[in-house]
Each structure stands twice: as structure tokens, then as C-alpha cells.
Amino acid sequence: MATKREKEIILTTQVRDEFNEADYSPVHFDQGAVMSLLQYTIACNRTSQQYVILEGLCNNSKLSNDDDKFELRAMDEFFDIEANIGEVKAIIGLQFNYENETVDEKDVEHEKFDDADKEEAKPVLDDEGNPVPPAEGSKPAFKPSDFEWTISNRQPKNLPQVFMGSKGKNYAVHEVKSAEQYSSSQYEAISKSLDEICSKIVNEPNPFYYQIIFTE
């Protein structure tokens, strides 16, 4: 609780805050403390089962303040989970709005470098004016202009884009389903979709992402 810094979050009016998310969502707490708590809880309760289900993480889209969203990006949480808990095999998003799993190329901006940045470094000369060869095993100086850089400042990727980019778009599977395919009852649709994903995790060799879209 000493790490808690309350952030304003938007809870959908269609869902009751049964778990007091407004007060206890992980977004309010230090990320390191959250990961340590998860590691401790898993260690205390783990059985021979291969998979662990985590709920309530990567919900920065619920934050109402843009600065808070950029402070804790979906990418940061996702890679923290993979580094501290284990590989993410699948994600299920229970949501009211579809999130694009790819980045539209027309929206991608690339960093531009001026001619001074592209200039070759002047060789080091000895007393007689001859070039001094680089030391054995040394690497050439890093030049940002030798690479292509996207401008992503204040344009963080959403969770589907992070997941698909990390796992490989030609390997990972992405599906979008309507909650009504499972049930007209919101709670029953949640239960049935979770049952499906748990079964699929065991039998599906590829990592996958489900977006379950509920009608408002």
C-alpha cells in the first residue's frame, strides 16, 4: 500500500465494480511491487499445472489521464509479465470496443536525419597523416542514421499490437468474436469464453489473442 498512487480510471457502466477495481486495480501500484506479489502468490499456490491465469493486468486503457497511460504502457506490463512470471501463451480481452491488432502503415512516421548526422566519421590519423586502423575486436561507432526509426512518442501500441508483434504475426493467431456467440447474458458469455480459451490453450500449439466484444 505504500507504493499506491491513485489514478483516475474509467469503469464501464455496464459492469459492477465487484472487485473494487477503482481502489485495487494494479494500475494504482508500483509495477515492481505488483510483480513481486504475483511471484509470491504463484509460489505459494502452484501445483503441477502448467499454466497460470492472470486477470486485471494490462488495463491501462481504463486510465482516464493520458499522462498516466504513457507512464504505464501495455508494452511495459506485458514484457514485465514475460520477464518475471513466464511466457504469455494467450490473452483474452473482454471489452466493448474492438482494438486493431495491426499498425496502419499510413499512420507510421519515421525519424528524419539531417546531412550532418549521415556524414561518415573522420578517420584517426597518425603523426604522418596515415589512417590508424581500428583496434582488433572493436566495433564501428553506432550511428542512428544507419537505421530506420519510427516516431512513437505519445503513440504507444495497444495490447493486441504488442502481443502480435512480439509473438510474430505469421505465427500468432488473432480472433475477434461477439459475446453473443456465447450467450445473451453478459456473465454467462464471460464464463463460456473463458472455458473456451482455457481448453484451447492446452490444445493450440500457437500463441493466440481473443477479443470478445460485448454490446453496450
What is the per-residue pLDDT across 28-84, written as a single tens digit (0 to 9) for each? 888 899 999 999 999 999 888 888 999 888 877 777 787 777 777 888 889 999 999
Beta carbons of 74 and 58 less than 8 angstroms apart: yes
pLDDT score recorded for residue 189: 93
pLDDT score recorded for residue 213: 93
Q: How confident is the model at residue 4 (pLDDT cuts 50, 70, 90)?
A: confident
What are the b/e assignments for 34-63, b being 16+ CB within 10 Å?
A: bbeebeeeeeeeeeeeeeeeeeebbbbebb
Residue 14 pLDDT exceeds 60:
no
pLDDT score recorded for residue 105: 65
pTM of the model: 0.70
Could you give the CA distance from residue 175 to residue 204 in angstroms, rounded to a whole number?
A: 13
pLDDT score recorded for residue 49: 85
pLDDT score recorded for residue 38: 93
pLDDT top residue among 167 and 108: 167
- Percent of the residues in the chain that have a pLDDT greater than 90, as a whole number: 28
Interval 137-148 mean pLDDT: 69
pLDDT 10s digits, 128-142: 778 777 777 666 666
pLDDT 10s digits, 153-194: 556 788 898 899 889 888 999 999 999 999 999 889 999 999
Beta carbons of 38 and 4 less than 8 angstroms apart: no
pLDDT score recorded for residue 102: 79
pLDDT score recorded for residue 42: 92
Bridge partners, 31 (sequence order): none
- Percent of the residues in the chain that have a pLDDT greater than 70, as a whole number: 83
Residue 116 pLDDT exceeds 70:
no
Q: How confident is the model at residue 209 (pLDDT cuts 50, 70, 90)?
A: very high
Could you give the CA distance from residue 160 to residue 146 in angstroms, rounded to a whole number?
A: 30
**C-alpha cell recorded at residue 213:** 466484444
